[in-house]
Amino acid sequence: MKKFLCLVIVMESIHYPAIEDYWSTSWPFASSTFSSIMKRDRFSLVLKFLHLNDNSHYIPKGQPGHDPLYKIRPFLDKILENFQFCFQLGREVSLDESMIGFKGRLGFIQYMPIKPTKWGLKAFVVSDSVTGYAFNWVLYTGKLYTHNCQVLHSQCFSCCLGNDHSQTPSKYGVTHDIVMQVTKSLQGMGHNLYMDNFYTSPAVFHSLQKVGIYSCGTLRCYRIGVPAQIKRSRKMKKGEIISVRKQSVLFLKWKDKGEVSLMTNIHDDSTIVKKRRSKSGVGGYEETVKPTAIEEYNKYMSGVDRLDQFLLYYNFNRRSNKWWRNAFFCLLDIAIYNSFVLYSKSKQDNHKLSFLQYRIQLSRELLMDSSPNSSIPQSCSTVTSPSARLVERHFPDKVPSRQNGKLGQRNCVVCSSKAGRPRKQVHTNVKYVE
């Protein structure tokens, strides 16, 4: 299995159109790397029969006790436990959605047009705002009603997150319950949570503050509990700021190119002066007064985006009818990135490996651990080919002059010795200038 994972990591780093191309013996895919580690048919069989749970105990949909994530449940629980055990989060944390590409037949497939991956599985991710380390990862499994949970006329947010059905929904809605569920492991630690306007509401902020989590996020003005000054503000001038404090929560609206609404219980209404490029400004720059809360929101909201950026570089994105296989390889890539973050924090010198170098070194370690007595292939070529000058494009070369001073002439090595063709004389005169 370690050899299989080793090859998966290498495939993610060197992307070919089809899996079979990695074992090709024809140019330009010819390489001995994969065939020397595992045969193609063996790799295909392992990939075909890969399972993460015992299907004989699977409870069908519609019956009590059904788990939408049964296919990956043991692996998911174990890897999330390790994520939270191995890393100490910083004070700033971000919450956002992440997509796993999938277009097969599935009841909880999602479409998010603003994401780079528009169709697929949606996961709620809690990550460190500075490093992008994924601390918690919860897969959304659709709007399932609670007739299976024996709760009438309400929506079960535990079903939506693929969890057990022991909790009943609150009066604040599914979004509120999702935020409380995915941040459960952060309660009582004094973290600052940054999120976008999909999650932000006064009810969410008050519930998070009760469990020791402070929040900041952009705001949809039609939320219940938003002050009227923010909801129905007059037309604002550029640079104008409206701030309203309601109990411990500060509501802000700032006009830049457009109106930006935000609520926070971390910051005050202080401002900073920022310089940015402008054709009409003095020296090509202009000064802008900007709320500190919006500046720090832009700084600390990008944790999940940073994680998605690294996952986009190297991924095992192959067409499949099995949704759980895409989820498994995504979790594997997240685990690799998290381990890279831990490696980067432990290395204090300037000789750190890049993310690609780290992945290659990890694949080497897996290969050596699977076969301690085996050697890693040093050469990738399996074809002993003649010099490229003799088989590819023809380039003129300087021919020394004869003793009588006349220009020397020679036959083209390639044209005059083609296999299966009669030999012919080819003369090309090129004046060579020193």
Mean pLDDT score, 155-177: 63
Which pLDDT score, from 0 to 100, does residue 192 have?
A: 93
149 and 272 share a domain?
Answer: yes
Spacing of C-alpha 308 from chain mean position: 3
Express each pLDDT in 360-395 by its tens digit. Answer: 988 888 888 877 665 566 544 444 445 555 555 566
212 and 296 share a domain?
Answer: yes
* Lowest-confidence pick of 72-81, 130-139, 229-238: 229-238
Which pLDDT score, from 0 to 100, does residue 221 have?
A: 86
* Lowest-confidence pick of 97-106, 263-272, 417-426: 417-426
Q: How many domains does the chain have?
A: 2
Is residue 164's pLDDT more than 90?
A: no
Q: Does the residue 132 lie in any domain?
A: yes
Name the token pair of 406. Answer: 């006349």
310 and 409 share a domain?
Answer: no
Q: Does the residue 137 lie in any domain?
A: yes
Which pLDDT score, from 0 to 100, does residue 85 have?
A: 92
Which pLDDT score, from 0 to 100, does residue 416 have?
A: 62
99 and 211 share a domain?
Answer: yes
410 and 262 share a domain?
Answer: no
372 close to 2: Cβ distance less than 8 angstroms: no
- Mean pLDDT score of the chain, rounded to an integer? 81
Which pLDDT score, from 0 to 100, does residue 392 have?
A: 55
Which pLDDT score, from 0 to 100, does residue 257 have?
A: 84
392 and 314 share a domain?
Answer: no
Mean pLDDT score, 216-231: 87
Which pLDDT score, from 0 to 100, does residue 193 have?
A: 93
- Residues 254 and 241: their CA atoms lie apart, in Å, by 5
49 close to 69: Cβ distance less than 8 angstroms: no
Which pLDDT score, from 0 to 100, does residue 154 have?
A: 33
Which pLDDT score, from 0 to 100, does residue 175 have?
A: 87
The larger pLDDT score, comparing residue 109 to residue 351, is at 109
Cα four-point dihedral sign 110, 114, 118, 120: negative
Q: Phi/psi of residue 324, each to 5°?
A: -70, -25
Which pLDDT score, from 0 to 100, does residue 384 have?
A: 43
CA distance to 38, 112, 312, 325, 415, per residue, from 320 (Å): 22, 20, 18, 8, 48
Where does a domain end: 318, 340, 364? Answer: 318
Q: Does the residue 288 lie in any domain?
A: yes
* Lowest-confidence pick of 161-170, 218-227, 233-242, 283-292: 161-170
Which pLDDT score, from 0 to 100, does residue 225 have?
A: 85
Which pLDDT score, from 0 to 100, does residue 390 have?
A: 53
Mean pLDDT score, 283-304: 87
Which pLDDT score, from 0 to 100, does residue 141 have?
A: 86
> Among residues of the chain, what percentage have pLDDT more than 70?
80
Mean pLDDT score, 324-344: 91
Is residue 57's pLDDT more than 80?
A: yes
- Residues 429 and 427: their CA atoms lie apart, in Å, by 7
Q: Does the residue 31 lie in any domain?
A: no
141 close to 68: Cβ distance less than 8 angstroms: yes
Where does a domain end: 318, 343, 371? Answer: 318
Where does a domain end: 318, 338, 368? Answer: 318
Which pLDDT score, from 0 to 100, does residue 424 have?
A: 56
200 and 86 share a domain?
Answer: yes
The larger pLDDT score, comparing residue 187 to residue 380, is at 187
Helix (H, G, I), strand (E, B) or coil at 126: strand
304 and 424 share a domain?
Answer: no
310 and 167 share a domain?
Answer: yes
Express each pLDDT in 240-265 by its tens digit. Answer: 888 888 888 999 998 888 889 999 99
Q: Phi/psi of residue 38, each to 5°?
A: -155, 140
Q: Does the residue 48 lie in any domain?
A: no
Query: How would you class 244 by CB atoms within 10 Å of its CB: exposed for 0-12, middle for 13-18, buried for 19 or more?
Result: middle
pLDDT confidence of 77, banded at 50, 70, 90? Answer: very high
312 and 393 share a domain?
Answer: no
Q: Does the residue 267 lie in any domain?
A: yes
232 and 134 share a domain?
Answer: yes
Is residue 80's pLDDT more than 60?
A: yes
Which pLDDT score, from 0 to 100, does residue 248 have?
A: 87
Range of the domain at 427: 388-434
Is residue 270's pLDDT more than 80?
A: yes
The larger pLDDT score, comparing residue 31 to residue 412, is at 31
Which pLDDT score, from 0 to 100, does residue 76 have?
A: 93
b/e 395-414 (16+ beta carbons within 10 angstroms → b):
eeeeeeeeeeeeeeeeeeee
Q: Does the residue 62 lie in any domain?
A: no
The larger pLDDT score, comparing residue 402 to residue 79, is at 79
We report the CATH number of the domain holding residue 282 as 3.90.350
246 and 103 share a domain?
Answer: yes
Q: Does the residue 46 lie in any domain?
A: no
Mean pLDDT score, 137-157: 53
